[in-house]
Structure 1
Amino acid sequence: MSAGKYKKLTEFISEHDKAVVALSGGVDSTLLAKASYDVLGDKTLAITIDNGLMSATDVLKAGEMAEEIGVRHQMVSDNFLSDKHFAENPPDRCYICKKRIAFILKKTALKEGNISLFDGTNADDLRGGRPGIKALKEEGIETPLADLGFTKDDIRREAKKLGLSNHDRYSNTCLATRIPYGRKLNKQKLEQVEKAEEILMELGLKQFRVRNHRHIARIESFKDSFPIIIENSDYIVEEFKKLGFSYVNLDLKAYDGK
Protein backbone atom coordinates (compact mmCIF):
# COMPACT_ATOMS: atom_id res chain seq x y z
CA MET A 1 0.00 0.00 0.00
CA SER A 2 1.34 3.42 -0.83
CA ALA A 3 2.02 5.83 2.01
CA GLY A 4 -0.35 8.17 0.20
CA LYS A 5 -3.38 6.08 1.03
CA TYR A 6 -2.70 6.17 4.77
CA LYS A 7 -2.00 9.89 4.54
CA LYS A 8 -5.41 10.30 2.93
CA LEU A 9 -6.94 8.45 5.88
CA THR A 10 -5.38 10.80 8.42
CA GLU A 11 -6.34 13.79 6.29
CA PHE A 12 -9.93 12.52 6.15
CA ILE A 13 -10.02 12.11 9.93
CA SER A 14 -8.52 15.57 10.47
CA GLU A 15 -11.58 17.07 8.77
CA HIS A 16 -13.67 15.88 11.74
CA ASP A 17 -13.81 17.47 15.19
CA LYS A 18 -14.56 14.31 17.18
CA ALA A 19 -15.03 10.66 16.37
CA VAL A 20 -16.69 7.57 17.78
CA VAL A 21 -15.14 4.40 16.37
CA ALA A 22 -16.86 1.02 16.58
CA LEU A 23 -14.06 -1.20 17.91
CA SER A 24 -14.42 -4.97 17.59
CA GLY A 25 -10.81 -5.86 18.37
CA GLY A 26 -10.12 -6.92 14.79
CA VAL A 27 -7.34 -5.34 12.76
CA ASP A 28 -9.67 -3.17 10.63
CA SER A 29 -11.37 -1.30 13.44
CA THR A 30 -8.11 -1.19 15.42
CA LEU A 31 -6.27 0.58 12.60
CA LEU A 32 -9.13 3.05 12.26
CA ALA A 33 -9.18 3.68 16.02
CA LYS A 34 -5.40 4.12 16.05
CA ALA A 35 -5.45 6.61 13.16
CA SER A 36 -8.33 8.51 14.74
CA TYR A 37 -6.59 8.68 18.09
CA ASP A 38 -3.31 9.81 16.54
CA VAL A 39 -5.12 12.64 14.75
CA LEU A 40 -7.82 13.64 17.25
CA GLY A 41 -6.38 12.41 20.55
CA ASP A 42 -8.91 12.28 23.37
CA LYS A 43 -11.59 13.56 21.01
CA THR A 44 -11.74 9.95 19.82
CA LEU A 45 -13.90 7.45 21.68
CA ALA A 46 -13.76 3.75 20.82
CA ILE A 47 -16.92 1.79 21.57
CA THR A 48 -17.21 -1.98 21.83
CA ILE A 49 -20.71 -3.43 21.90
CA ASP A 50 -20.88 -6.69 23.84
CA ASN A 51 -24.12 -7.78 22.21
CA GLY A 52 -24.23 -11.46 23.09
CA LEU A 53 -23.04 -12.36 19.59
CA MET A 54 -19.30 -11.83 20.03
CA SER A 55 -17.03 -14.43 21.55
CA ALA A 56 -15.59 -13.63 24.97
CA THR A 57 -12.15 -13.72 23.33
CA ASP A 58 -13.11 -10.96 20.90
CA VAL A 59 -14.64 -8.79 23.61
CA LEU A 60 -11.48 -9.14 25.67
CA LYS A 61 -9.27 -8.40 22.65
CA ALA A 62 -11.15 -5.16 21.95
CA GLY A 63 -10.36 -3.91 25.44
CA GLU A 64 -6.73 -4.95 25.09
CA MET A 65 -6.33 -3.12 21.78
CA ALA A 66 -7.95 0.05 23.12
CA GLU A 67 -5.47 -0.01 26.00
CA GLU A 68 -2.58 -0.65 23.62
CA ILE A 69 -3.57 2.34 21.48
CA GLY A 70 -4.31 4.55 24.47
CA VAL A 71 -7.70 5.61 23.14
CA ARG A 72 -10.68 6.27 25.38
CA HIS A 73 -12.81 3.15 25.42
CA GLN A 74 -16.36 2.36 26.42
CA MET A 75 -17.88 -1.11 26.64
CA VAL A 76 -21.63 -1.17 26.02
CA SER A 77 -23.57 -4.31 26.97
CA ASP A 78 -26.73 -5.14 25.06
CA ASN A 79 -28.60 -8.35 24.31
CA PHE A 80 -29.38 -8.45 20.59
CA LEU A 81 -31.13 -11.80 21.06
CA SER A 82 -33.90 -9.94 22.88
CA ASP A 83 -35.01 -8.67 19.47
CA LYS A 84 -37.49 -11.38 18.51
CA HIS A 85 -37.23 -10.69 14.78
CA PHE A 86 -33.43 -10.89 14.87
CA ALA A 87 -33.55 -14.08 16.96
CA GLU A 88 -35.64 -15.69 14.21
CA ASN A 89 -32.41 -15.51 12.19
CA PRO A 90 -33.83 -14.07 8.95
CA PRO A 91 -31.67 -13.51 5.85
CA ASP A 92 -31.45 -9.80 6.72
CA ARG A 93 -30.07 -10.45 10.23
CA CYS A 94 -26.88 -8.46 9.43
CA TYR A 95 -29.02 -5.49 8.42
CA ILE A 96 -30.98 -5.68 11.67
CA CYS A 97 -27.77 -6.04 13.68
CA LYS A 98 -26.03 -3.06 12.07
CA LYS A 99 -29.15 -0.94 12.55
CA ARG A 100 -29.02 -1.67 16.27
CA ILE A 101 -25.29 -0.97 16.40
CA ALA A 102 -25.88 2.35 14.66
CA PHE A 103 -28.57 3.23 17.21
CA ILE A 104 -26.14 2.60 20.08
CA LEU A 105 -23.36 4.60 18.41
CA LYS A 106 -25.72 7.51 17.79
CA LYS A 107 -26.97 7.44 21.36
CA THR A 108 -23.40 7.70 22.59
CA ALA A 109 -22.58 10.42 20.08
CA LEU A 110 -25.36 12.61 21.47
CA LYS A 111 -23.58 12.59 24.82
CA GLU A 112 -20.24 13.44 23.21
CA GLY A 113 -21.51 16.43 21.25
CA ASN A 114 -20.74 17.19 17.59
CA ILE A 115 -19.19 13.91 16.61
CA SER A 116 -18.66 11.65 13.59
CA LEU A 117 -19.31 7.91 13.63
CA PHE A 118 -16.78 5.53 12.06
CA ASP A 119 -17.00 1.82 11.22
CA GLY A 120 -14.06 -0.36 10.15
CA THR A 121 -15.62 -1.83 7.00
CA ASN A 122 -12.91 -2.28 4.35
CA ALA A 123 -12.93 -2.28 0.54
CA ASP A 124 -12.98 -6.09 0.35
CA ASP A 125 -16.22 -6.09 2.34
CA LEU A 126 -17.95 -4.20 -0.46
CA ARG A 127 -17.75 -7.18 -2.80
CA GLY A 128 -21.07 -8.96 -3.00
CA GLY A 129 -24.28 -8.01 -1.26
CA ARG A 130 -23.71 -6.93 2.33
CA PRO A 131 -26.96 -5.76 3.93
CA GLY A 132 -25.07 -4.62 7.02
CA ILE A 133 -23.17 -2.03 4.98
CA LYS A 134 -26.46 -0.77 3.55
CA ALA A 135 -27.71 -0.23 7.11
CA LEU A 136 -24.59 1.74 8.06
CA LYS A 137 -24.96 4.04 5.07
CA GLU A 138 -28.65 4.60 5.83
CA GLU A 139 -27.76 5.64 9.38
CA GLY A 140 -24.94 7.98 8.36
CA ILE A 141 -22.13 5.82 9.76
CA GLU A 142 -18.96 6.59 7.82
CA THR A 143 -16.66 3.84 6.50
CA PRO A 144 -13.33 5.60 5.83
CA LEU A 145 -11.31 2.45 5.10
CA ALA A 146 -13.73 1.22 2.46
CA ASP A 147 -14.24 4.67 0.96
CA LEU A 148 -10.48 5.19 0.59
CA GLY A 149 -9.93 1.76 -0.95
CA PHE A 150 -8.18 0.00 1.93
CA THR A 151 -8.12 -3.77 1.34
CA LYS A 152 -7.52 -6.27 4.14
CA ASP A 153 -3.92 -6.68 2.98
CA ASP A 154 -3.43 -2.90 3.01
CA ILE A 155 -4.75 -2.74 6.54
CA ARG A 156 -2.56 -5.57 7.82
CA ARG A 157 0.56 -3.99 6.30
CA GLU A 158 -0.16 -0.58 7.79
CA ALA A 159 -1.06 -2.08 11.18
CA LYS A 160 2.25 -3.94 11.19
CA LYS A 161 4.14 -0.74 10.34
CA LEU A 162 2.40 0.98 13.25
CA GLY A 163 3.35 -1.87 15.59
CA LEU A 164 -0.21 -2.99 16.35
CA SER A 165 -0.05 -6.40 18.01
CA ASN A 166 -3.12 -7.72 16.18
CA HIS A 167 -1.83 -6.96 12.67
CA ASP A 168 -1.84 -10.66 11.81
CA ARG A 169 -4.80 -11.73 13.94
CA TYR A 170 -7.29 -14.01 12.24
CA SER A 171 -10.45 -12.43 10.86
CA ASN A 172 -13.63 -13.21 12.75
CA THR A 173 -17.35 -12.62 12.47
CA CYS A 174 -20.14 -12.74 15.01
CA LEU A 175 -21.22 -16.15 16.26
CA ALA A 176 -24.66 -15.81 14.65
CA THR A 177 -23.03 -16.36 11.26
CA ARG A 178 -22.34 -19.98 12.28
CA ILE A 179 -26.08 -20.74 12.36
CA PRO A 180 -27.92 -21.21 9.02
CA TYR A 181 -30.64 -18.68 8.24
CA GLY A 182 -34.05 -19.72 9.51
CA ARG A 183 -32.80 -21.57 12.59
CA LYS A 184 -33.66 -19.60 15.70
CA LEU A 185 -30.76 -18.04 17.56
CA ASN A 186 -30.34 -18.52 21.29
CA LYS A 187 -27.57 -18.28 23.84
CA GLN A 188 -27.11 -22.06 24.07
CA LYS A 189 -26.45 -22.48 20.34
CA LEU A 190 -23.98 -19.61 20.25
CA GLU A 191 -22.12 -20.83 23.34
CA GLN A 192 -21.95 -24.30 21.78
CA VAL A 193 -20.16 -22.83 18.76
CA GLU A 194 -17.93 -20.59 20.85
CA LYS A 195 -16.71 -23.49 23.02
CA ALA A 196 -16.19 -25.71 19.98
CA GLU A 197 -14.05 -23.05 18.33
CA GLU A 198 -12.05 -22.58 21.53
CA ILE A 199 -11.17 -26.29 21.40
CA LEU A 200 -9.81 -25.90 17.87
CA MET A 201 -7.90 -22.74 18.76
CA GLU A 202 -6.18 -24.61 21.59
CA LEU A 203 -4.94 -27.07 18.95
CA GLY A 204 -3.30 -24.21 17.06
CA LEU A 205 -5.89 -23.55 14.36
CA LYS A 206 -6.32 -19.88 13.51
CA GLN A 207 -8.64 -19.27 10.57
CA PHE A 208 -11.67 -21.55 10.61
CA ARG A 209 -15.37 -21.75 11.45
CA VAL A 210 -17.56 -24.28 13.26
CA ARG A 211 -21.02 -24.28 11.68
CA ASN A 212 -23.86 -25.44 13.91
CA HIS A 213 -26.28 -27.72 12.03
CA ARG A 214 -28.34 -28.89 15.01
CA HIS A 215 -26.68 -32.17 16.05
CA ILE A 216 -23.92 -31.81 13.43
CA ALA A 217 -20.83 -29.63 13.82
CA ARG A 218 -19.29 -28.80 10.44
CA ILE A 219 -15.69 -27.59 10.57
CA GLU A 220 -14.53 -25.27 7.80
CA SER A 221 -10.79 -24.65 7.66
CA PHE A 222 -7.96 -23.86 5.26
CA LYS A 223 -6.52 -27.03 3.75
CA ASP A 224 -3.15 -26.60 5.47
CA SER A 225 -4.97 -27.15 8.78
CA PHE A 226 -6.58 -30.43 7.69
CA PRO A 227 -3.66 -32.56 9.03
CA ILE A 228 -4.02 -31.03 12.51
CA ILE A 229 -7.75 -31.71 12.53
CA ILE A 230 -7.38 -35.29 11.31
CA GLU A 231 -4.51 -36.04 13.69
CA ASN A 232 -6.64 -34.85 16.62
CA SER A 233 -9.96 -36.15 15.30
CA ASP A 234 -10.66 -38.52 18.20
CA TYR A 235 -10.08 -35.75 20.73
CA ILE A 236 -12.18 -33.25 18.74
CA VAL A 237 -15.11 -35.66 18.42
CA GLU A 238 -14.97 -36.50 22.12
CA GLU A 239 -14.92 -32.84 23.18
CA PHE A 240 -17.58 -31.76 20.69
CA LYS A 241 -19.90 -34.52 21.90
CA LYS A 242 -19.57 -33.12 25.41
CA LEU A 243 -21.00 -29.89 23.98
CA GLY A 244 -24.04 -31.70 22.62
CA PHE A 245 -23.05 -32.47 19.04
CA SER A 246 -23.72 -36.02 17.80
CA TYR A 247 -21.56 -35.82 14.68
CA VAL A 248 -18.48 -33.84 13.66
CA ASN A 249 -17.81 -33.25 9.95
CA LEU A 250 -14.79 -31.71 8.22
CA ASP A 251 -15.88 -29.78 5.13
CA LEU A 252 -13.51 -30.86 2.34
CA LYS A 253 -14.19 -27.62 0.51
CA ALA A 254 -11.55 -25.31 1.97
CA TYR A 255 -12.73 -22.37 4.08
CA ASP A 256 -13.24 -19.27 1.92
CA GLY A 257 -12.62 -16.71 4.64
CA LYS A 258 -16.25 -15.65 5.20
Structure 2
Amino acid sequence: MVEAPDRLAERLGRFDALAVAVSGGVDSMTLATFAHRLGRPSVMVIHAVSPAVPQEATERVRALATAEGWQSVVTGAGEFDDPRYRDNPANRCYFCKTNLYDRIRDLTPHVIASGANLDDLGDYRPGLLAAAERDVVHPFVEAEMTKADVRSLARRLGLADIAELAAQPCLASRVETGIAIDAADLAFVESTERRLAASADRGATLRCRITHDGVALELGDDALPRRAELEKIVTALCAESGRRFAGTRAYSRGSMFVRP
Protein backbone atom coordinates (compact mmCIF):
# COMPACT_ATOMS: atom_id res chain seq x y z
CA MET A 1 0.00 0.00 0.00
CA VAL A 2 1.35 3.45 -0.95
CA GLU A 3 1.83 5.62 2.13
CA ALA A 4 0.31 9.09 2.37
CA PRO A 5 3.62 11.01 1.97
CA ASP A 6 4.39 9.06 -1.21
CA ARG A 7 0.92 9.76 -2.59
CA LEU A 8 1.39 13.44 -1.76
CA ALA A 9 4.81 13.58 -3.42
CA GLU A 10 3.34 11.98 -6.54
CA ARG A 11 0.53 14.54 -6.71
CA LEU A 12 2.91 17.47 -6.20
CA GLY A 13 5.22 16.14 -8.89
CA ARG A 14 2.67 17.16 -11.53
CA PHE A 15 3.57 20.82 -11.09
CA ASP A 16 6.56 22.89 -12.08
CA ALA A 17 5.66 25.64 -9.62
CA LEU A 18 3.14 26.18 -6.84
CA ALA A 19 1.93 29.16 -4.83
CA VAL A 20 0.87 27.74 -1.46
CA ALA A 21 -1.64 29.83 0.48
CA VAL A 22 -0.39 29.57 4.08
CA SER A 23 -2.64 30.69 6.92
CA GLY A 24 -0.35 29.72 9.79
CA GLY A 25 -2.25 26.55 10.71
CA VAL A 26 -1.01 22.96 10.67
CA ASP A 27 -2.39 22.06 7.23
CA SER A 28 -0.95 24.83 5.09
CA MET A 29 2.32 25.01 7.04
CA THR A 30 2.86 21.28 6.61
CA LEU A 31 2.02 21.39 2.91
CA ALA A 32 4.42 24.27 2.27
CA THR A 33 7.22 22.56 4.21
CA PHE A 34 6.77 19.20 2.47
CA ALA A 35 6.51 20.72 -1.02
CA HIS A 36 9.52 22.99 -0.46
CA ARG A 37 11.71 20.13 0.78
CA LEU A 38 10.83 18.04 -2.27
CA GLY A 39 12.70 20.54 -4.40
CA ARG A 40 10.18 20.22 -7.17
CA PRO A 41 7.82 21.93 -7.71
CA SER A 42 9.28 25.36 -7.13
CA VAL A 43 7.30 26.76 -4.19
CA MET A 44 6.22 30.29 -3.37
CA VAL A 45 4.51 30.76 0.00
CA ILE A 46 1.82 33.44 0.28
CA HIS A 47 0.51 34.59 3.66
CA ALA A 48 -2.28 37.16 3.87
CA VAL A 49 -2.62 39.47 6.84
CA SER A 50 -5.82 41.18 7.95
CA PRO A 51 -7.72 41.92 11.17
CA ALA A 52 -9.13 38.38 10.90
CA VAL A 53 -5.69 36.72 11.07
CA PRO A 54 -4.21 36.29 14.56
CA GLN A 55 -0.84 37.97 14.98
CA GLU A 56 0.66 34.75 16.33
CA ALA A 57 -0.25 33.00 13.06
CA THR A 58 1.70 35.59 11.07
CA GLU A 59 4.64 35.32 13.46
CA ARG A 60 4.57 31.53 13.05
CA VAL A 61 4.67 31.82 9.26
CA ARG A 62 7.54 34.31 9.32
CA ALA A 63 9.56 32.12 11.71
CA LEU A 64 9.14 28.96 9.63
CA ALA A 65 9.80 30.83 6.39
CA THR A 66 13.14 31.94 7.80
CA ALA A 67 13.98 28.49 9.18
CA GLU A 68 13.07 26.68 5.94
CA GLY A 69 14.36 29.28 3.51
CA TRP A 70 11.01 29.75 1.81
CA GLN A 71 10.41 32.19 -0.99
CA SER A 72 7.61 33.93 0.86
CA VAL A 73 5.36 36.94 0.44
CA VAL A 74 3.23 38.55 3.16
CA THR A 75 0.38 40.53 1.64
CA GLY A 76 -3.08 41.88 2.36
CA ALA A 77 -5.96 39.95 0.81
CA GLY A 78 -8.24 42.99 0.78
CA GLU A 79 -11.36 41.23 2.03
CA PHE A 80 -12.16 44.12 4.38
CA ASP A 81 -12.59 46.34 1.33
CA ASP A 82 -15.38 44.03 0.14
CA PRO A 83 -18.80 44.92 1.60
CA ARG A 84 -20.06 41.43 0.77
CA TYR A 85 -17.51 40.03 3.21
CA ARG A 86 -18.10 42.66 5.90
CA ASP A 87 -21.86 42.03 5.83
CA ASN A 88 -21.08 38.53 7.14
CA PRO A 89 -23.61 36.39 5.29
CA ALA A 90 -23.64 32.62 5.76
CA ASN A 91 -21.25 32.30 2.80
CA ARG A 92 -18.82 34.94 4.07
CA CYS A 93 -15.92 32.54 3.51
CA TYR A 94 -16.66 32.55 -0.21
CA PHE A 95 -15.92 36.27 -0.40
CA CYS A 96 -12.87 35.92 1.84
CA LYS A 97 -11.33 33.24 -0.38
CA THR A 98 -12.37 35.09 -3.54
CA ASN A 99 -10.31 38.07 -2.45
CA LEU A 100 -7.43 35.91 -1.24
CA TYR A 101 -7.06 33.84 -4.40
CA ASP A 102 -7.51 36.84 -6.67
CA ARG A 103 -4.76 38.62 -4.75
CA ILE A 104 -2.45 35.61 -5.09
CA ARG A 105 -3.17 35.46 -8.80
CA ASP A 106 -2.11 39.13 -9.05
CA LEU A 107 1.22 38.17 -7.46
CA THR A 108 2.13 35.04 -9.41
CA PRO A 109 1.12 32.88 -12.37
CA HIS A 110 1.88 29.70 -10.37
CA VAL A 111 -0.82 27.14 -9.71
CA ILE A 112 -2.39 28.00 -6.35
CA ALA A 113 -2.54 25.28 -3.69
CA SER A 114 -4.47 25.15 -0.43
CA GLY A 115 -4.01 23.01 2.67
CA ALA A 116 -7.55 21.59 2.62
CA ASN A 117 -7.73 17.93 3.65
CA LEU A 118 -10.36 15.20 3.34
CA ASP A 119 -12.01 16.10 6.65
CA ASP A 120 -12.72 19.60 5.35
CA LEU A 121 -14.98 18.22 2.64
CA GLY A 122 -17.53 17.18 5.27
CA ASP A 123 -17.94 20.74 6.60
CA TYR A 124 -19.86 23.70 5.24
CA ARG A 125 -17.00 25.38 3.34
CA PRO A 126 -18.13 28.11 0.93
CA GLY A 127 -14.47 28.95 0.37
CA LEU A 128 -14.07 25.69 -1.55
CA LEU A 129 -16.41 27.07 -4.22
CA ALA A 130 -14.20 30.14 -4.64
CA ALA A 131 -11.23 27.79 -4.91
CA ALA A 132 -12.92 25.66 -7.57
CA GLU A 133 -13.78 28.73 -9.62
CA ARG A 134 -10.09 29.67 -9.64
CA ASP A 135 -8.64 26.21 -10.28
CA VAL A 136 -7.01 26.05 -6.84
CA VAL A 137 -5.62 22.58 -6.15
CA HIS A 138 -5.86 20.67 -2.85
CA PRO A 139 -2.92 18.23 -2.72
CA PHE A 140 -3.91 16.69 0.62
CA VAL A 141 -7.37 15.90 -0.73
CA GLU A 142 -5.88 14.40 -3.90
CA ALA A 143 -3.56 12.28 -1.74
CA GLU A 144 -6.57 11.16 0.35
CA MET A 145 -5.12 12.59 3.55
CA THR A 146 -7.17 13.39 6.64
CA LYS A 147 -6.34 15.87 9.40
CA ALA A 148 -4.74 13.03 11.36
CA ASP A 149 -2.58 12.18 8.35
CA VAL A 150 -1.46 15.80 8.08
CA ARG A 151 -0.50 15.92 11.76
CA SER A 152 1.42 12.67 11.35
CA LEU A 153 3.27 14.11 8.36
CA ALA A 154 4.13 17.26 10.32
CA ARG A 155 5.74 15.11 13.02
CA ARG A 156 7.75 13.21 10.40
CA LEU A 157 8.98 16.53 9.08
CA GLY A 158 10.17 17.55 12.55
CA LEU A 159 7.41 20.11 13.02
CA ALA A 160 6.33 18.81 16.42
CA ASP A 161 4.91 22.10 17.72
CA ILE A 162 2.97 22.72 14.53
CA ALA A 163 1.66 19.15 14.53
CA GLU A 164 -0.01 19.76 17.88
CA LEU A 165 -1.61 23.09 16.99
CA ALA A 166 -5.28 23.24 17.84
CA ALA A 167 -7.71 24.00 15.04
CA GLN A 168 -7.75 27.78 14.75
CA PRO A 169 -10.05 29.16 12.05
CA CYS A 170 -9.92 32.86 11.26
CA LEU A 171 -11.13 35.33 13.85
CA ALA A 172 -14.17 36.23 11.73
CA SER A 173 -15.48 32.71 12.42
CA ARG A 174 -16.17 33.90 15.99
CA VAL A 175 -18.81 36.37 14.76
CA GLU A 176 -22.39 35.19 14.37
CA THR A 177 -23.86 35.34 10.88
CA GLY A 178 -25.52 38.68 10.18
CA ILE A 179 -23.35 40.71 12.56
CA ALA A 180 -21.11 42.93 10.45
CA ILE A 181 -17.43 42.01 10.60
CA ASP A 182 -15.67 44.77 12.50
CA ALA A 183 -11.94 45.05 13.14
CA ALA A 184 -12.51 46.18 16.74
CA ASP A 185 -14.60 43.07 17.48
CA LEU A 186 -11.90 40.83 16.03
CA ALA A 187 -9.20 42.56 18.07
CA PHE A 188 -11.31 41.98 21.18
CA VAL A 189 -11.72 38.31 20.33
CA GLU A 190 -8.01 37.86 19.70
CA SER A 191 -6.90 39.55 22.92
CA THR A 192 -9.56 37.74 24.96
CA GLU A 193 -8.64 34.30 23.63
CA ARG A 194 -4.97 35.04 24.24
CA ARG A 195 -5.75 35.87 27.88
CA LEU A 196 -7.92 32.78 28.21
CA ALA A 197 -5.28 30.50 26.71
CA ALA A 198 -2.70 31.80 29.18
CA SER A 199 -4.96 30.73 32.06
CA ALA A 200 -6.17 27.41 30.64
CA ASP A 201 -4.39 24.09 30.23
CA ARG A 202 -2.22 23.90 27.12
CA GLY A 203 -4.30 23.03 24.07
CA ALA A 204 -7.64 23.47 25.84
CA THR A 205 -10.57 24.21 23.53
CA LEU A 206 -12.04 27.65 24.06
CA ARG A 207 -13.68 30.34 21.96
CA CYS A 208 -14.77 33.92 22.48
CA ARG A 209 -17.89 34.43 20.34
CA ILE A 210 -19.57 37.66 19.23
CA THR A 211 -23.30 36.85 19.17
CA HIS A 212 -26.55 38.77 18.84
CA ASP A 213 -26.96 38.34 22.61
CA GLY A 214 -23.48 39.59 23.47
CA VAL A 215 -20.11 37.98 24.09
CA ALA A 216 -20.33 34.23 24.68
CA LEU A 217 -17.62 31.98 26.07
CA GLU A 218 -17.51 28.45 24.63
CA LEU A 219 -15.50 25.78 26.44
CA GLY A 220 -14.58 22.25 25.51
CA ASP A 221 -14.52 19.51 28.14
CA ASP A 222 -10.77 20.03 28.53
CA ALA A 223 -11.33 23.64 29.64
CA LEU A 224 -14.18 23.03 32.11
CA PRO A 225 -11.96 22.51 35.19
CA ARG A 226 -11.01 26.19 34.96
CA ARG A 227 -14.45 27.46 34.03
CA ALA A 228 -14.85 29.86 36.96
CA GLU A 229 -11.45 31.45 36.35
CA LEU A 230 -12.08 31.81 32.61
CA GLU A 231 -15.53 33.30 33.12
CA LYS A 232 -14.02 35.87 35.48
CA ILE A 233 -11.54 36.93 32.78
CA VAL A 234 -14.22 37.36 30.12
CA THR A 235 -16.55 39.19 32.51
CA ALA A 236 -13.82 41.69 33.35
CA LEU A 237 -12.80 42.23 29.72
CA CYS A 238 -16.42 42.78 28.70
CA ALA A 239 -16.88 45.32 31.49
CA GLU A 240 -13.73 47.17 30.42
CA SER A 241 -14.91 47.40 26.81
CA GLY A 242 -18.58 48.11 27.47
CA ARG A 243 -19.73 44.73 26.13
CA ARG A 244 -22.39 42.39 27.48
CA PHE A 245 -21.30 38.96 28.66
CA ALA A 246 -23.93 36.46 27.46
CA GLY A 247 -22.64 33.54 29.48
CA THR A 248 -20.79 30.26 29.00
CA ARG A 249 -21.82 27.27 26.93
CA ALA A 250 -20.35 24.08 25.51
CA TYR A 251 -17.98 24.45 22.57
CA SER A 252 -19.65 23.71 19.24
CA ARG A 253 -17.68 23.77 16.01
CA GLY A 254 -19.06 26.29 13.52
CA SER A 255 -21.71 27.49 15.96
CA MET A 256 -21.63 31.04 14.60
CA PHE A 257 -22.89 30.01 11.15
CA VAL A 258 -26.63 30.52 10.68
CA ARG A 259 -27.23 28.71 7.44
CA PRO A 260 -29.94 29.60 4.95
**Structure 1 length normalisation: TM-score?**
0.90
Letter in 1 for 2:135: G
CA contact (8 A) 1:22 1:29 kept: yes
Which residue matches 2:258? none
SS of residue matched to 1:49? strand
Q: Which residues in structure 2 correspond to 1:132-211 (within 5 Å)? A: 132-164=127-159, 165-205=161-201, 206=203, 207-211=205-209
Q: Please give the alpha-carbon distance, in whole angstroms, between the structure 2 residues aligned to 1:254 and 1:223.
A: 8
Change (3 A) 1:70 1:132: same
Which residue matches 2:76? 77
Moved more, 199-208 or 100-109: 199-208
Choose the corresponding residue for 1:229, options 215, 227, 230. 227
Letter in 2 for 1:195: S
Q: Please give the alpha-carbon distance, in whole angstroms, between the structure 2 residues aligned to 1:232 and 1:130.
A: 30
Which residue matches 2:121? 126
SS of residue matched to 1:166? helix
The alignment of Structure 1 onto Structure 2 pairs a total of residues equal to 252
Letter in 2 for 1:172: Q
- Report deviation, 1:118: 0.6
Q: Please give the alpha-carbon distance, in whole angstroms, between the structure 2 residues aligned to 1:64 and 1:135.
A: 29
Which residue matches 1:55? 54
Q: Please give the alpha-carbon distance, in whole angstroms, between the structure 2 residues aligned to 1:257 and 1:66.
A: 30
CA contact (8 A) 1:217 1:245 kept: yes
5+ unaligned residues in a row in structure 2: which ranges?
256-260
- Report deviation, 1:195: 1.3
Which residue matches 1:240? 238
For the aligned residues, what is the CA RMSD? 2.0
Moved more, 213-222 or 24-33: 213-222
SS of residue matched to 2:173? helix
Moved more, 86-95 or 56-65: 56-65
**Structure 2 length normalisation: TM-score?**
0.89
Q: Please give the alpha-carbon distance, in whole angstroms, between the structure 2 residues aligned to 1:162 and 1:172.
A: 21
Letter in 1 for 2:241: L
5+ unaligned residues in a row in structure 1: which ranges?
none
Which residue matches 1:25? 24
Residue 218 (str. 1) matches residue 208 (str. 2):
no
Change (3 A) 1:68 1:204: farther
- Report deviation, 1:56: 1.2
Change (3 A) 1:11 1:144: same
